[in-house]
Amino acid sequence: MTPSQRKSVPLRFALYALMAALALVFLFPFLFMVASSFKSNDAIFADLESIRALLPVGTLTADNYVHAFARGNIGHYLFNSVLVTVITVGLGLIVNSMAAFALARMEWRGKQAVLTLLVILLIVPFEAISVPLMLLVSKLPGLAFDGGALVWTRSWLDTLYVQIIPFIANAFSIFLFYQFFRDIPKDFDEAAYIDGATPFQVYRHVIVPSSLPVFATVTILQALAMWNQYLWPLITVPGESARPLMVGMQQFFGARKTAWGEVMAYAALITVPVLIAFIFFQRWFVRSVVGSGVKG
């Protein structure tokens, strides 16, 4: 070991210790949630002031999970959340990547104005436009399920597509695609055009195969965003037929005494599958972020 390497050992040890401490801080809420999901209300509050709150100790029971399934239509809510997430991400990959292709690889009048508008949209919080958007979709006609049959409605409210269509086009996803597409050499496009390819063929056969990392990035980020949607379905889906998992948690509140064990069980049922999937795809996610050119 060289002298410089020996000097760096304490620094690296301190860095790893800091990272471990930060990991524990972020892990505490998850441990509390999982441990509390197996305890009664009284046991949860009794353990709050000790390390026992983070550990599955004491009288443990799976009743909270049984009651969570009994009180909440988890299977139906899970189906809605999966359907909304899959359709939105699938259509979003097509729409956002094609929009970014037009911005990054084609020349047309007004492109700079659209890019400026795209950047502006990135800094506008969704909460600022949620109410105007809700008033808009409340006036749009569409189709909805009523008793298992499709019926014509005068509003998009309380439907699945009110949770899908407004989020297919996403400014942040377009920006990620645009940044990646812009760095691909245009010699590929010119060679394809010389061979008689159309712009769509260039997009399909040249750009897409060269951009799998950014497609992976957008897929993961948009899927997490749609899975965690709460505010929008809360104000646009008052009924149970199109209710997603996140909004389904509200039925555990409002009673004189909240069953916190059942709340934690429901939260664990929502969180653990996503956490397992993220851990499984962690390496792929890191590679996709690095490959997409996302910089801090």
Which tens digit of pLDDT belongs to each residue from 209-248?
988 888 888 888 898 899 999 999 999 998 888 899 999 8
Instruction: Compare 275 and 176 and report the one with higher pLDDT.
Output: 176
Q: Does 165 score more than 90 pLDDT?
A: yes
H or E segment to which residue 243 belongs: none
What span, in angstroms and rounded, lies between the C-alpha atoms of 227 and 81? 6
- Residue 242, domain extent: 72-125+160-259+273-291
The count of domains in the chain is 2
Domain match, 205 and 285 both:
yes
- Count other Cβ atoms within 10 Å, centred on residue 8: 13
Closest CA to 36 of 28, 159, 217: 28
Percent of the residues in the chain that have a pLDDT greater than 70, as a whole number = 88
Residues 50 and 94 reside in one and the same domain? no
pLDDT tens-digit series, residues 195-208? 899 999 999 999 99
Q: What is the mean pLDDT of residues 268-272?
A: 86
Closest CA to 41 of 255, 273, 275: 255
In-domain check, residue 144: no
Side-chain half-sphere exposure of 245, counting CA atoms within 13 A: 24
Q: Is the pLDDT of residue 255 over 60?
A: no
- SS3 category, 150: strand
Based on the fold, state whether residues 103 and 213 are members of the same structural domain.
yes
Same domain membership, residue 51 and residue 108: no
* CA-to-CA dists, residue 169 to 31, 99, 157, angstroms: 36, 9, 19
Phi-psi region of 229 (alpha: psi -120 to 50; beta: other; left: phi over 0): beta
For 254, phi and psi rounded to 5 degrees? Answer: 105, -20
> Is 206 domain-assigned?
yes
Looking at per-residue pLDDT, the higher value among 240 and 93 belongs to 93
Domain CATH number, residue 281:
1.10.3720.10
Question: Rounded CA gap, 158 and 242, in Å?
Answer: 6
Is the pLDDT at 296 greater than 50? The verdict is no
Give the C-alpha distances (Å, rounded to integers) separating 290 from 180, 201, 222, 285, 286: 11, 27, 17, 9, 6
pLDDT for residue 6 = 64
Q: Model pTM? A: 0.81
> Of 105, 75, 81, whose CA–CA distance to 208 is shortest?
105
Q: What is the mean pLDDT of the chain?
A: 85
Res. 150: pLDDT tops 70? no
Would you give the distance in Å from CA 16 to the centre of its chain? 29
Return the pLDDT at 153: 74
Tens of pLDDT, residue by residue over 124-137, are: 899 899 999 999 99
According to DSSP, residue 205 is labeled I
In a domain, residue 56? The reply is yes
Residues 98 and 243 in one domain: yes
